[in-house]
Amino acid sequence: MKQVFPLALLILLLSACKSKPASQSEIDLSEITKTIHQFAQWYHDYVNGVTESQQFIDKKGPYARLDSAGLESYLVNLKSSGMVSESLLEGERAYYRKCEPFWQNENKEEELTGMDANRFFCGQDWDIKLWASAPVSAEGLGTDEVVATMGPLEGGRSVQFSLEKEVDKWLITAVDCGEESFIETEDYTGSYYSDDKSCAMTLQIALRNGAYAYEWKTARRKVAGTMLLNRSESETYLVFKGLTGGGKQSVEALFSNNSIMVQNSGNAQNPYQHFNECKAKYITFTKGVPKPEAEKAVEIPAEKPKAASKPAKKALPVVTLNRYGDITLSGKKIALVDLRKALQAELLKNTVIPDQLLIKPIGEVGMGARHELQTVVLESISGAKWARKKAALEVVNQAVSNRLNAETELDIINNYQTNGYYALVDAKPRYANGNPVDYSISPYKYEYQSGNFADRVIAILKFEKGKWKILTYTIGANSVPVNAWVKKYGIPRKLFER
């Protein structure tokens, strides 16, 4: 009997020494890490196989085209890995379709837009040993959707993965490489109309089979054809093939902030007249449909209807300058000294404040006068942008003050981005007296004590009815949950790029 007791005691001690069972979050993180590492290895082997992985670009014609059958075959191969979701496949399909229109104006034998880096390894070269073993952390554990961060990888960088749980398996829904990973294009499609009654014209642009199609109507003619994109570092020009006027060259127009401007006539050194039915030197087209014609408008059929559309933009203010130096702002005469304040007020009525504003010259205007006016216009735009930014920071700071139960200020602005409709604010808060925030006495004291707490606030705002509204914000996060916020709030991914 004496021998039984020590044996029983030994069994109890051994049982007590066993580690406690892993939590569901720990199990999920382990499975998520396994999925990411195994997919990296699978994809590495795939792209380095005997058969090329991306055989979906057709270069037989004058320019590169997307081979839809080849793309679908590629996506089927991705799905066969068993580690990616349908939403990832749809995202890849949409990405390449978005790139295709740019290829029409590019040398097919050179690097094409969107094809200069591997979509999943975020570059042209990668160290598979790192990608198959780097540590993984995740936000959202305990739910069926998480955002995982893997790194450090080459150069100390990290990559974000969005995953969702289907039955008992984690699947990758998106890979976020950061700024280098996404092609964001303007939405050129839609209806446009001339804002000059003496130049009554309409323009329709639609995306068909990977190319932009247009239909241009004037009082005398109707022309349809293909539109090409011609981009410089700072400007985008639209080239309307088949639409010619007094010269042999196709009509070219400047695109800016959903407006299109055509220089209708040249000068003594380069004489031409695109549209003889219109005498204006510059013709500006505004996106939308004039109210009297809204019911008559017929859209060119696009590949598929859009899921959602942004609210119609308010027309931008129009600044004109004539040969005598007279200036008008949206049709009203104004002195140069009063223009800055008045134009800034007009710009702040718009959801989107443009980066530039076209000045409409009336007659032959000297370069000196135009330059002076352009300086004032740029200063007005800068002032309007600062006023809009200041308003966003005030809204975020008020939320932080309420949450921390203390008067605060936003000390360091790490990042501020806006497309007009949404804004991203990433900043460091401090007390109003200038002292750093003491999180140990705040509602975040336990998160702060964990040691994995950042002294920063990250917020997403939406501009509605003339003011900013917070959609979501977080205090203490180490990184911006890009994929989660893009998916939940429908925010353009470009907002998170610098």
For position 145, what pLDDT does the model report?
84
For position 311, what pLDDT does the model report?
46
User: Is residue 168 domain-shared with residue 39, that is, in the same domain?
Assistant: yes
User: Is residue 81 domain-shared with residue 138, that is, in the same domain?
Assistant: yes
49: containing domain? 24-181
User: Is residue 204 domain-shared with residue 249, that is, in the same domain?
Assistant: yes
pTM: 0.48
Alpha carbons 432 and 389: distance in angstroms, whole number: 19
User: Is residue 408 domain-shared with residue 278, that is, in the same domain?
Assistant: no
The 10s digit of each residue's pLDDT in 388-435 is 999 999 999 999 998 898 999 998 888 999 988 899 999 999 999 989
CB-count exposure of residue 384 (10 Å: 0-12, 13-18, 19+) = buried
Q: Which of 257, 272, 293 is the last residue of a domain?
A: 293
- Could you tell me if residue 129 is inside a domain? yes
- Could you tell me if residue 360 is inside a domain? no
- Could you tell me if residue 488 is inside a domain? yes
- Could you tell me if residue 17 is inside a domain? no
- Could you tell me if residue 404 is inside a domain? yes
User: Is residue 119 domain-shared with residue 241, that is, in the same domain?
Assistant: no
Convert 98-127 to b/e letters by CB count within 10 Å (16 or more is b): bbbbbbbeeebeeebbbeeebbbbbeeebe
User: Is residue 135 domain-shared with residue 213, that is, in the same domain?
Assistant: no
Contact 97, 210 (CB under 8 A): yes
The 10s digit of each residue's pLDDT in 432-491 is 998 999 998 988 887 788 777 889 999 999 998 889 999 888 898 888 888 888 877 888
Q: DSSP of 233-246, one letter per residue?
A: SS-EEEEETT--SS
Taking every pair of Cα atoms in the chain, the longest distance, rounded to a whole number of angstroms, is 118
| 169: its two tokens | 């398996």
For position 463, what pLDDT does the model report?
92
Q: Is the pLDDT of residue 33 over 60?
A: yes
For position 295, what pLDDT does the model report?
40
User: Is residue 223 domain-shared with residue 90, that is, in the same domain?
Assistant: no
Whole-number average pLDDT of the chain: 82
User: Is residue 32 domain-shared with residue 162, that is, in the same domain?
Assistant: yes
For position 113, what pLDDT does the model report?
78
- Could you tell me if residue 15 is inside a domain? no
Window from 107-111, 194-198, 436-440 with minimum mean pLDDT: 194-198
- Could you tell me if residue 48 is inside a domain? yes
Q: Is the pLDDT of residue 244 over 70?
A: yes
User: Is residue 34 domain-shared with residue 174, that is, in the same domain?
Assistant: yes
pLDDT band at 312 (very low <50, low <70, confident <90, very high): very low
User: Is residue 96 domain-shared with residue 236, that is, in the same domain?
Assistant: no
Q: Which of 159, 181, 203 is the last residue of a domain?
A: 181
CA atoms within a 13 Å half-sphere pointing along the CA-CB vector of 50? 0
pLDDT band at 198 (very low <50, low <70, confident <90, very high): confident
- Could you tell me if residue 333 is inside a domain? no
Alpha-helix runs per DSSP H in 81-167 = 86-103, 128-131
Number of structural domains in the chain:
3
Q: Which of 248, 278, 293 is the last residue of a domain?
A: 293
6 or 385, higher pLDDT:
385
Q: Any idea what the CATH number is for the domain that residue 97 is in?
A: 3.10.450
For position 292, what pLDDT does the model report?
52
pLDDT band at 234 (very low <50, low <70, confident <90, very high): low
42 CB-near residues (< 8 Å, 6+ apart): 81, 83
Alpha carbons 96 and 116: distance in angstroms, whole number: 12
For position 241, what pLDDT does the model report?
87
User: Is residue 57 domain-shared with residue 172, that is, in the same domain?
Assistant: yes
User: Is residue 470 domain-shared with residue 442, that is, in the same domain?
Assistant: yes
The 10s digit of each residue's pLDDT in 342-383 is 999 999 998 889 888 878 887 777 777 778 888 888 899 999
